[in-house]
Amino acid sequence: MNRVLVNVMSGDWSVHFIGPDGQTRIGPWLLHDSHDEVKKLLRWGNPAADEWKEHDLARKISARREDEIYATEASIHHVAIGTSRRVCRNS
């Protein structure tokens, strides 16, 4: 399993992934309509209950949140090809 960072911007509910090296962007920015949609995406990483609490608390404090998930190479590839129905035009 590889550590993947997930950046979430709550102003427009955009999400993007940073690879295991902490620098390489994986796939395009994904745009969502709500925090619930973002949480559905984050469930892919199987976060623990305390990680959900930390995520929700940080969301209330800041418009930008970085979560950490663990994913297989196949899952990372799946994200890299842009599986969302909406992709940011600036990616």
Give the pLDDT of residue 31.
86
Q: Which of 29, 5, 34 is closest to 16 using CA atoms?
A: 29
Domain boundaries, the chain: 2-80
Mean pLDDT for the chain?
A: 75
Percent of the chain scored above 90 by pLDDT?
A: 0
CA of residue 26 relative to chain centroid, distance: 10
In angstroms, the CA 26 to CA 11 distance is: 21
Give DSSP secondary structure letters for 24-51: -EEEEEEE-SSHHHHHHHHGGG---HHH
Share of the chain above pLDDT 70, in %: 84
pLDDT confidence bin for 47, thresholds 50/70/90: confident
* pLDDT tier at 90, thresholds 50, 70, 90: very low
Q: What is the pLDDT of residue 87?
A: 42
